[in-house]
Amino acid sequence: MSLDSIDRCILTELQKSGRMSNATLSEEVNLSPSACHRRVQRLENDGYIRDYVALLDARKIGVPSTVFVEITLRGQADDVLDAFEKSVARIPDVLECHLMAGSADYLLKVVAEDTEDFARIHRQYLARLPGVAQMQSSFALRTVFKTTALPV
């Protein structure tokens, strides 16, 4: 299925506010409520909409620090990559893990209370990851902007 302009408007609005009612959404995209509901269901069934979530405030939750960790592995064999990926997926403080092209093999996005908490995360989890040859951490000083909305 390809997306038409109304589908794109629906996706854009839902990315702004996933809890808006179908009536409000239908007004925003100029569709009848029943037609809007059918389109949203189709977008969900076709996998364009994966889930609905609550986005939490990291400061209020107590993890205001973001640390980006570049990891280089000792090798690139499938078993090394698989072991690393399975282990890193179990670390609760890691929000994202990306296999990279470039100088590092992986880039992790980690949240922590502060530098001491990150030191704990490093000792308890990161230093024990399998196959790691080198690790470099960079603390974000300030988030200039952040979005979860994809361009549609």
- Residue 62's pLDDT band, with cuts at 50, 70 and 90, is very high
Averaged pLDDT score across all residues of the chain: 97
Residue 130 has pLDDT above 80, yes or no: yes
Please write the tens of the pLDDT for every residue from 88-112: 999 999 999 999 999 999 999 999 9
pLDDT of residue 1: 75
Angle between helices 5-16 and 33-45 (to 10 degrees): 80
Burial class (CB in 10 A: 0-12, 13-18, 19+), 26: buried
Task: Find out whether 57 and 46 touch, Cβ atoms under 8 Å.
Answer: no
Residue 67: C-alpha distances to residues 70, 74, 81, 132, 138 (Å): 10, 22, 22, 18, 6
Q: Residues 6 or more apart from 149 whose CB is under 8 A from it?
A: 12, 15, 16
pLDDT at 65: 98
pLDDT digits (tens, 9 = 90+) for 22-59: 999 999 999 999 999 999 999 999 999 999 999 999 99
Mean pLDDT of the 118-135 span: 98
The total of other beta-carbon atoms located within 10 Å of residue 22's CB is 13
